[in-house]
Amino acid sequence: MVSQPTATLNFINETQIAQVVSIGTILPLVEETSTHYKLLTPDGICYISKEKAHIVDNTQINAVEQIIELAKSFLDLRYAWAGTSAAGFDCSGFVYTLFRTFDIWLSRDAQEQVFEGAVYTYQEAIPGDLLFFAYEEGNGEVHHVGLYLGDDQMIHSQTPGSKVMITKLEGTTYQKELCAVRRFF
């Protein structure tokens, strides 16, 4: 699975033009070398650098750290309504894509994601948990989700006109609207 914002697929047949694919792209593995994965695409056999992809394995011990590192690689990427790629994300598309990259499958929208995973309180939150926010000071409809980083901070794709950013919750509307914490590890 592609685990960077974008990656280049180079084809064995040199007459074929290399293709750029986005994070989360999954292709069948044909062979593994010391530096590359050989993959099968509808257009033929290609290679991708191991630095840009990984074999999907949901037993990865350090998946949380890798998800957080990957999330930070998208800092300053523009908000895009319904976005789920390196072209831009909305809030739920951001966490959906991050988790999917590590073979953790969530629903696409925050209003559904909030009903998944293990339930925790904010006091029990650890890095990698998802934080959900609802209108009416946390009692209304869920409208936002972010990835908890620890130290009262989350990374999220905020709103139209903004970018992926890190926000401290204390003293913000987010602190008042926090309604749920969910863990998927």
Where in the chain are the domains? 6-49, 63-183
Q: How many CB atoms lie within 10 A of CB 119?
A: 11
For residue 56, pLDDT beyond 80 = no
Phi/psi for 24 (5° steps) reads 90, -5
Q: Which CATH superfamily is domain 63-183 in?
A: endopeptidase domain like (from Nostoc punctiforme) (3.90.1720.10)
Q: Is 143 a catalytic residue?
A: no
How much of the chain exceeds pLDDT 90, in percent? 63
Q: Which of 36, 54, 91, 179 is catalytic?
A: 91
> Is 36 annotated as catalytic?
no
In this prediction the pTM is 0.78
The SS3 call for residue 176 is helix
> Which candidate in 46, 54, 156, 179 is catalytic?
156
Higher pLDDT, 164 or 7: 164
Percent pLDDT > 70 in the chain is 97
Helix or strand holding residue 99 (H, E) = helix 91-100
pLDDT band at 61 (very low <50, low <70, confident <90, very high): low
Beta strands 142-150; 36-41: pairing state? unpaired
46 is catalytic: no
The token duo for 51 is 């630095």
